[in-house]
Amino acid sequence: MPDNNQSLKRRVPVLLPLPLSGAYDYAVPQNRDIPPFGAFVKVPFGARVLSGVVWDGAKNESEIDDKKLKNILSPIPLPPLKAENRRFVDWVSGYTLAAPGAVLKMAMSADDALDGVGETTGLVRSGAVAASSFRLTPARKKVLDAASDSIPLTRADIARIAGVSPAVVKGAEDAGLLSKKPLAPVVFPVPDPDRVGVSFSPEQDKAARALADAVGKGFSVTVLNGVTGSGKTEVYFEAVAQALRQGGQVLVLLPEIGLTGQWLDRFEKRFGVRPAEWHSDVSKRVRRETWKGVLSGSVKVVAGARSALFLPYADLRLIVVDEEHDSSYKQEDGVIYQARDMAVVRGKIGGFPVVLSSATPSLETRINVRRGRYREVVLENRFGSAVLPRIELIDMRRFPPENIGETRSFLSPVLVRKTEETLARGEQALFFLNRRGYAPLVLCRKCGYRFQCPHCSAWLVEHRCADRLICHHCGHAVAKPPACPVCGAEDALVSCGPGVERISEEAALRFPAARQAVVSGDLNATASEMAALTAKIRDGGVDLIIGTQILTKGHHFPNLTLVGIVDADLGLEGGDLRAGERTYQMLEQVAGRAGRETKKGEVFMQTYDPDNRVIRALADGEKDAFLDAEADSRELLNMPPFGRLAALIVSAAKEDAARAAATALGRAAPSGEGIRVLGPAPAPIALLRGKFRFRLLLQTARSVAIQDVLRFWTSRVSLPPSVRVQIDVDPYSFF
């Protein structure tokens, strides 16, 4: 009998894209070469066949003896995943406490690339269309609108563009309305670093050179800190050009909604072609080809949302994180990570520079500069003759809104007059309010009943466009009844407070001639629809823009000269660690939309709390003093980045189960020098999507390895499967 430990078979560990705690051993048949680390392989797993990666580093889970060991199946004909990508997966797993396979899954995010070539034929409108078009169903009409006469698209793409199911497309195909045609291959033309860019001002030139010089010289982090409109994009393009000249790949991370046509157009102007894009709006086929191109090295520049960080780069030599302060870099579910921080880690592992660009760098980043860990390059001036607008406060207690007949008003007479003047000059105005819908709350005037979500601890938000009361957490939607559901009173329901729809209603009464655009997440616009809308605004097709923070991301509207912030106080309440900082960043970014070219801009901020320190700092232009004070208060409280913080959210469908689990975790709480546990307490949103939630916070000194504490802590408590514990290291939202 062979000794179990004395394996005779040739084994390799394979990591699968599943939330398992480590790699599993598989046998390599005698007639096959041992695949190298990083090789993509197919293996049997239970009754399934899965793709995985031959892995070094992760904990090996299997202690299977030779007899039970399964063979590796066919190797996948793709280049192996390079070591630095593998180390990155391991690092992120170790830091976030997510299973390594769950992180690997993000690196294998184009499954079908691993399953062969994919479809090679697409569909175009066929000649039969004209004759039959008079009896088309509405769905088929949409399909034909989505399809082209000459450029073939896949069935999935046509379905996606038309907003119908693939079966409808198949039906149109079977009816002879669409015919097959070979798909053109997806190609990624190589950007040309040596096309002539803009000519820089001396300040820009110096900054561009500093960034470009760092490329090819190992790991470094440089903060490009420039006021809005200072030309940060053009400046960091020079670092991109330098990495391209050296033959490397580049990743530019952008907030999801920042990936608009405007940015892509500017890239194309500078480099002659568009970069590869990576975000949720990219079709499956293009995703697959992009993923393969990144792996083989044929894709040179990726412009992407946070998940692009996990692509299988062949030779990554630079990462730029644009709008590095943006909170959308924090992924809040699944593997919980902060993409800006992980970009720095990726640069360190890969030995290349990282550029963090922002007009309002995060506190974390500023402190890293102060400590000398990051370099800083500053652009103090707006480009050309544009000057930064002054921010003026409107004290709403002194200049309260005047109602228009029965219609409640939210715009003070000061802002109304400024808007009239701006519009009369033929310039554009923007009203900013970070709240979707019509009103954040509906209540009964008679009995005081408030419409609340049955699944969440949250009010239902009235949406008049959709004619619904909607929960912004879970999407639960109901029609607004004519009478109060509790006391039955008719005509007693009142809408409280404004959302963008309500501001739009008021603006239509006050400025009837102005052409309006309401821009919020409710548009559900795809990247290309959003690009079309921003182009329309830029080209003067809109006079008055009313929008949420979707508008704060890097848009450039040359004729926009007035920004009115409808409610500057919004977002300042609440126990969020970063509430002040975030409000500051958001308002400063919106203010930066005004007067970006030759025309002077004005910004007015409506507030009921003009003495609030965030509001004061904005009005007085005391950016540094404000952020220093924020930093001091965090240091005093030992909060990040001075101390470490992790949140444990315990949730379950039954309140008792969640409470019992949270109590058990609380009893097992770690203690020791520099370790403190707060809670358990009901989470601020105690009910979310039907789950009851409790929260514990672990706060430690910087010198404590918080992950080790978390691992030890959670391993001491065994919880029933009905309870979920989500660990969030460096939490950003405290809901």
Choosing from 220, 233, 290, 520, the residue that interacts with ligand ADP (CB under 6 A) is 233
Of residues 531 through 590, those in contact with ligand ADP by CB under 6 A are 554, 556
- How far apart CA 591 and CA 611 sit, in angstroms, is 19
CA–CA dist 147, 131 (Å, integer)? 17
Span from 20-28, 309-317, 463-471, 654-662 in contact with Zn ion (CB under 5 A): 463-471
In 3D space, the residue among 330, 329, 290 whose CA is nearest the CA of residue 312 turns out to be 290
100 touches which of Zn ion, ligand ADP, none (CB within 5 to 8 A by kind)? none
Nearer to Zn ion, 274 or 468 (CB): 468
Helix (H) or strand (E) holding 199, with range, is none
Task: Tell me which of Zn ion, ligand ADP, none is bound by residue 230, counting a contact when its beta carbon lies within the kind-specific cut-off of 5 to 8 angstroms.
Answer: ligand ADP
Alpha helices in 274-362 (DSSP H): 284-296, 339-350
According to CB under 6 A, which residues from 297 to 326 bind ligand ADP?
none
- Which CB sits closer to ligand ADP, 14 or 207? 207
Query: Which residue of 228, 362, 495, 700 would you call a contact of ligand ADP, by CB under 6 A?
Result: 228
Considering only residues 159 to 218 of the shown chain, the ones binding ligand ADP according to CB under 6 A are 198-201, 204
The stretch among 226-234, 283-291, 447-455, 458-466 that binds ligand ADP (CB under 6 A) is 226-234
Beta strands per DSSP E along 532-600: 544-547, 560-565
Closest CA to 78 of 41, 109, 47, 112: 41
Task: Report d(CA 339, CA 336) in Å as an integer.
Answer: 10
- Residue type at 579 in one-letter notation: A
Q: Does 225 bind ligand ADP (CB under 6 A)?
A: no
* Smallest separation (angstroms) from ligand ADP to the CB of 554: 6
Binding residues among 66-85 for ligand ADP as defined by CB under 6 A: none
**Which of 324, 567 has the CB closer to ligand ADP?**
324
Contacts (CB under 5 A) with Zn ion, residues 416-455: 453, 455
By CB under 6 A, tell whether 230 contacts ligand ADP: yes
Interaction between residue 271 and ligand ADP (CB under 6 A): no
Query: Is residue 498 involved in binding ligand ADP (CB under 6 A)?
Result: no
- Does position 691 bind Zn ion by CB under 5 A? no
Q: How far is the CB of 355 from ligand ADP (least distance, A)?
A: 12
Q: Which residues contact 460 (CB under 8 A, 6 or more apart)?
A: 441, 442, 451, 452, 453, 469, 470, 471, 476, 478
Helices 623-636 + 579-591 axis angle, to 10: 160
Judged by CB under 5 A, how many residues of this single chain contact Zn ion? 7
Residue 472 in the binding site for Zn ion (CB under 5 A)? no
The correct pick among 436, 476, 634, 644 for binding Zn ion (CB under 5 A) is 476
Q: List for the chain the helix, strand, coil content (%; round to 5).
A: 35, 25, 45
Strands 560-565 and 643-652: unpaired
C-beta atoms surrounding 406 within 10 Å: 5
Name the one range near ligand ADP by CB under 6 A: 109-117, 230-238, 408-416, 636-644. Answer: 230-238
Partner that binds at residue 299, options Zn ion, ligand ADP, none, CB closer than 5 to 8 Å by kind:
none
Alpha-carbon gap, residue 728 to 731, rounded angstroms: 5
Strands 40-45 and 48-54: antiparallel
Minimum distance between the CB of residue 693 and Zn ion, rounded to whole angstroms? 13
Residues near ligand ADP (CB under 6 A), total: 16
Q: Which two tokens stand for residue 536?
A: 């329309």
Is residue 264 near ligand ADP by the rule CB under 6 A?
A: no
Q: Print burial letters for 478-508: b (CB count within 10 Å at least 16), e (below 16).
A: eebeeebeeeeeeeebebebbbbbbbbbbbe
455 binds, among ligand ADP, Zn ion, none (CB under 5 to 8 A by kind): Zn ion
Judged by beta carbon, residue 361 or residue 554, the one nearer ligand ADP is 554
Per-residue contact track with ligand ADP, 376 to 415, x per CB under 6 A?
A: -------x--------------------------------
Rg (CA), the chain: 28
Task: Give least dist CB 735 to ligand ADP, A.
Answer: 31
201: tokens are 């001002």
Phi, psi for residue 598 in degrees, rounded to 5: -70, -30
Q: Which does 206 bind (CB under 5 to 8 A by kind): ligand ADP, Zn ion, none?
A: none
Binding site for ligand ADP (CB under 6 A): 198-201, 204, 226, 228-234, 383, 554, 556
Binding site for Zn ion (CB under 5 A): 453, 455-456, 471, 473-474, 476
